[in-house]
Amino acid sequence: MASEGEALTSTGYIQHHLQNMVYGKLPAGYVRHNADGTHTTLEADTWTLAHTYQEAKDMGFMALHLDTLGWGLFLGLVFSFIFHRVAKRAKAGKPTGLQSFVELVVEFIDNTVKDIFHHKNKLIAPMALTIFCWVFLMNLMDLIPVDWLPWAAQKISGDSHLFFKVVPTTDPNATLGMAITVFILMIFFNIKEKGLWGFTKELTCHPFFAPKKLWYLNILLIPVNTVLETVALIAKPISLGLRLFGNMYAGEMIFILIALLFSAGIVLGVVGGVLQWGWAVFHILVITLQAFIFMVLTTVYMAMAHDTHDDDH
C-alpha cells in the first residue's frame, strides 16, 4: 500500500506540473469539488480559475492559459526592451558587452535568412530575428528548476493547489498558435506574389502536370493534385508547431522525473542533482536548436510562398 500511495503521489506531482493555469467559464449547476472535501454548486455561469484537472477540461476550447499568455508576453517584452535599448545606445566603432552580443545575433540571423530567402521582402529578416529570440527565451525557462516558480506563485497567491507552468513552448496552444500565424503569412504571400489564380493553379496543377499535347489529362489530375498539395500545405504549420512542442514537452518531463529523485532520500537526491546538471547542460543545445529550427523552417516556408512555378510543358 505504501508503494501504491507513493506512486499516486508521484503521479499527482507530475500532473500538477504539467497542468496550465486555466481561466474559463463553468456553466450554471456545475458542482465544484473543494480541497476540504466539500462541494459547491454554481448558481450561474462563472468565469474562474480551474481548481482541478477535470475543471480545466470542462472549461472547453474557449478557456485561457494565463501562465502561457503571461510568460509569452513578458518574454516578448524582455526581448523587445533589450534590443531596443541596445539599438538606441549603439555607437560606432568596436562594440563591447551586450551590444556586441546583439550584433552577433542579428548578423547571424541576417546571414541565415540571406542564404535561404532570395527574394525582396523587408519583413522576413526582422520576423526571423523575432522568432528566434522569442522562442529561445521561452525555451530557456525550461532551465529554471521546475519547483521554484510554481512554489513562489503558490506562496504569493496563498493557493497551495495553484497550477503554474513557466515554459510557454510546452503548451501546444502556444506553439500551434505561432505555427498558424506562419501559415496565414504563407497564404498571404502566396496570393500577393502569385495572385489568387496563380495560387489556385499551384494547388491544382502540381506536382503532376501532363504535356500540352495531353492537356485533357490535367482535368483528371486536378483532384489528385489538389488533395496532395492541400495536405502538404496544411501539414507545414502542424509539423512546425508540434515539433517544437514535442521536444520541449519531453525535456520538461525529464526535468520533472529527475526532480522526483530529490524526495527519495539522500543517495537518490545526489544522483538527481548530477542528472539534473547533466540534462541542463545538454538541454542548452536543445532549446537553442529548436529555436533555430523553428526560425529556419519559417523562413523556408516564406521563400516557398514567394517562389513561382512557370510550367514549360
Instruction: Specify whether the backbone of 60 is left (phi greater than 0), alpha (psi in -120 to 50) or beta.
Output: left
Say whether 80 is catalytic: no
Q: Are strands 31-33 and 22-26 parallel, antiparallel or unpaired?
A: unpaired
Compute the distance between CA of residue 119 and CA of residue 116 in angstroms, rounded to an integer.
9
- Single-letter code of the amino acid located at 292: F
Give every CB contact of residue 86 below 8 A, 6+ residues apart in sequence: 98, 99, 102
3-class SS at 90? Answer: coil
Task: Find how far residue 143's CA is from the centre of its chain.
Answer: 16
Helix, strand and coil content of the chain, in percent to the nearest 5, comes to 70, 5, 25
Give dist(CA 299, CA 124) in Å, integer. Answer: 7
How far apart CA 125 and CA 110 sit, in angstroms, is 6
Neighbours of 186 (CB within 10 A): 19
Residue among 2, 23, 283 at smallest CA distance from 142:
283
- Mapped to the 3 state alphabet, what secondary structure does 75-112 carry? HHHHHHHHHHHHHHHCCCCCCCHHHHHHHHHHHHHHHH
85 labelled catalytic: no
d(CA 33, CA 11): 20
Backbone angles phi, psi at 312, to 5 degrees: -105, 15
Tell me which of 10, 32, 218, 243 is the catalytic residue.
Answer: 243
Give the active site residue among 34, 157, 239, 263. Answer: 239
Cell numbers representing residue 44 in the block:
450561474
Active site residue 247: yes
Q: Among the residues of 158-265, which ranges form H helices?
A: 172-204, 217-260
31: which strand partners?
41
Residues recognised as catalytic: 239, 243, 247
